[in-house]
Structure 1
């Protein structure tokens, strides 16, 4: 029940720049994402700092925020991502991704999958 409420707060909140993390969550300086090229069958870890963008295939992935439970940093990660497909010049994902529930808010792209593994704590 508490987890569902926490997910609802995170998903309805805007990008975190001007907001404080909800009680019980700490902000991290970065995150590790994983990208999968479904055609090549190759997975790649994508380390990002908050505010940083990187190119992964035709995608430009930007990490706006990463939050984690302050009392158990290894348990979950919540990352706010902005993903643009540069081949078509359009944003294809903008929102919170949750490490333990990647299907709850997932990138829908014909070639690439991107999901959150963990926040970078230090």
Structure 2
């Protein structure tokens, strides 16, 4: 049985992996919720990072916004949506030079507010 929105744990930190396709290097980086971290030409901002409680099937999801900084120094939104740690290919950010995907959330002990809808609704 999946955890309801009220049972999910809200975490203050999202952990991402980023691939630099030029060098082949994969970097892991932490981002606080509502903070922005730049990875290559991408700016990654998690808006929420939720996990199921330990008594439920493990699942980690985050609502993330990703902007690209163009060569003209303009900001362009290239992704806004849910990322699932269990299915990194489902909603990973694919970019010609950098890819970004969610690994996990950490630091949470507070249940998520009930106004956050269940994933998939």
Q: Which category describes the TM-score, using the shorter chain as reference length?
A: 0.7 to 0.9
The TM-score, its normalising length taken from structure 1, stands at 0.76
Are 1:120 and 2:103 counterparts? no
Unaligned 5+ segments in structure 1 are 7-20
Query: What is the match of residue 76 of structure 2?
Result: 90
CA change 1:41–1:67 in 2 (3 A) is: same
Give 3-state SS (helix, strand or coil) of 2:34's partner: coil
Query: Which has the higher mean CA deviation after the structures are superposed, 87-96 or 72-81?
Result: 72-81
Query: What is the match of residue 107 of structure 1?
Result: 93
Offset at residue 80 of structure 1 (A)? 1.0
Offset at residue 72 of structure 1 (A)? 4.8
Query: What is the match of residue 67 of structure 1?
Result: 50
Give 3-state SS (helix, strand or coil) of 1:90's partner: strand
Indicate the structure (1 or 2) with the bigger Cα radius of gyration.
2
Cα distance between partner residues in 2 of 1:72 and 1:118: 17
Are 1:40 and 2:23 counterparts? yes
CA change 1:72–1:103 in 2 (3 A) is: farther
Q: Once superposed, which parts of structure 1, at least 4 consecutive aligned residues long, lie more than 6 Å away? A: none
Contact 1:35/1:45 (CA < 8 Å) preserved in 2?
yes
CA-based RMSD of the aligned residues comes to 2.2
The TM-score, its normalising length taken from structure 2, stands at 0.76
Higher RCO structure, 1 or 2 (CA under 8 Å, sep 6+) = 2
Matched residue pairs, number? Answer: 105
Which has more helix, going by share of residues? 1
Unaligned 5+ segments in structure 2 are 109-121
